[in-house]
Amino acid sequence: MSAVAPGDAEVRNLQFAPGNSPSSPRILRSIYPSSIAVCVRLAGKDRRRSAIDVSVEGLFVESPDHLPPGELVQVLLVLPTDITIRALATVERVVTPDEASFCGGMPGMGLRFFMMDDRLKKRWREYLQELSQSSAPLPADPVALEHRPTERGESRREQPRKDARFRVRIADEQSLRTFHTSNVSEGGMFLATSDVKELGTTLNLVIRHPISRRQFPIRALVRWTCRSGPTERRGMGVQFLDEGPEKSEAFLRFLNEG
Q: What tens digit of pLDDT does each residue of 27-75 get?
A: 667 999 999 999 998 777 889 999 999 999 999 999 888 788 888 899 9
Beta bridge partners of 72: 90
CATH for 113: 2.40.10.220
Residue 138 is assigned to a structural domain of this protein? yes
- Is the confidence at residue 215, as pLDDT, over 50? yes
Q: Yes or no: say if 256 and 87 are a contact pair by the CB < 8 Å rule.
A: yes
Whether residues 36 and 132 fall in one domain: yes
Choose the final residue of a domain: 152, 178, 198: 152
Query: Across 16-25, 62-71, 79-88, which has the greatest mean pLDDT?
Result: 79-88
> What total of structural domains would you count in the chain?
2
Q: Contact at 8 Å (CB) between 57 and 32?
A: no
Is 50 exceeded by the pLDDT of residue 7?
A: no
Q: Is the pLDDT of residue 16 over 50?
A: no
Using CA atoms, how far residue 155 sits from 17, 18, 151, in Å, is 10, 10, 9
Of 25, 256, 255, the C-alpha closest to 128 is: 25
pLDDT at residue 147 is higher than 90:
yes
CATH number at residue 227: 2.40.10
Residue 219: domain span: 161-257
